[in-house]
Amino acid sequence: MSYKGRKFAVAPMIDWTDRHCRYFHRQISRQALLYTEMVVADAIIHGPRDRLLGHDAAEHPLALQLGGSDPAKLAEAVRISEAYGYDEINLNVGCPSDRVQSGTFGACLMLTPETVAECIAAMKRVATVPVTVKCRIGVDEQEPEQALPALITRVLDAGADAIWIHARKAWLKGLSPKENREIPPLDYEIVYRMKQRWPDVFIGINGGIRTLDEAATHLAHVDGVMLGRAAYQNAAILSEIDQRFFGAPAGEPDWEGLRDRMMAYAERHIASGGRLQHVARHMVGLFTGLPGARRYRQILSTDAAKSGAGPEVLAAAFAAVDFSGTEQEAVSA
C-alpha cells in the first residue's frame, strides 16, 4: 500500500494531541501528517467510540495510533476505526510509561518482535489504509544494532507500510516517560543506516528535533521527520512547513485568519457543551518570541479557564500580540 508524501508529521503525544490540538495545528499547516494520542485497543472495543475516535473532517491527513499487544483485539479496533475514516493506523512500540507497560505493550514490545509482527499481520488483514509502526531503537540492555533491524525485518515481513523510529533507547525501569524523552542519548546515525539497509521502505525519524533546519538535514537521509514537543510548544513552527517541504507558495502566516477560525471552532465546541479551556490550552505557546507573547499566554492561561469564558478571550489574547515583530522570531524562538 502506498505511503508517500509524509515528509513531516506531528508526533502522537498523550494528553496533548487531542482533537482540539489537531484542529488548531491543521489551521497552521495543511500538509503535516497529524496523529491522535495513543488509544488502547480495549478502550475502542468496550468504550465510548465516538469520544475516542471522533474528529473534525478538517484534521486530515490524520493517523490513529493504537496501543495493544493482542492481535485479535488490535484487528477489531482497526475494523471499528475504519468507519471514522483515518488515513493511517499506527502501532505504538515506543511508549515507555508504566501504564503502557502494565498492559504489556508500547516500548516493551521491542523485546518481542514476533508479537509485533503478529499484531501487524492481524491489523493488515482488516485495514484499508496503511498500517505503520512507531518504535524506539531498543530498550534496556538491548543492542540497537541487533534489536532494531530484527524488529524491522519482522514487521516488514508482516506487511507494515512504514516505520517511524524514535532515535533513542527506552529504559523500562528507572526512568520516567519524561526522562525517557531526554536522558537516553540520541543516535540518528542508526536510523540513517536502517534507511540505507531498506532503501525502498519509508523510514521516518523522531526524537530531539527542534528546528526546521534540523528537519531538513534529516530529510537528506530518511523519508520523513516527526516533531513532538517542538511543534506543540512553539506551534508557529508549523507555519513554514507547507512551503518549505511541500512546495506551497511562499507567504506570511495569516494570524488574523487563524484567530477567526479558532474563535468559530471554540464557539461550536462551547455550544456542544465544551469549555473554552479545552481548546485554548493548546494555543498557549503559539507566539513565543513576539512582543506581547507573555500577555497572550497570561490571557489564555487564566481567562480561558474561567467559567463561562467564550471566544472573545481568544480575540483579546491575539490583540495583545505585536505582529510588527519579525515572523521569524516566532518561528525560531
> Whole-angstrom Cα distance, residue 12 to residue 162?
16
Can you point out the beta strands (E) in 21-158?
A: 33-40, 62-67, 88-93, 131-139
Residue 171 dihedral angles phi and psi, to the nearest 5°: -105, 115
The three cell numbers of residue 63 are 493517523
Q: Are 126 and 135 in contact (CB under 8 A)?
A: no
Residue 218's CB is within 10 A of a number of other CB atoms, namely: 20
Residue 95 is a catalytic residue: yes
Name the DSSP class of 181.
Answer: T
Which among 95, 108, 119, 135 is annotated as catalytic?
95
> Whole-angstrom Cα distance, residue 183 to residue 52?
32
Q: Does the bond joining 61 to the residue before it have cis omega, within 30 degrees of 0?
A: yes
* Cα dihedral across residues 153, 155, 160, 165: positive or negative: negative
Which sequence positions are flagged as catalytic? 95
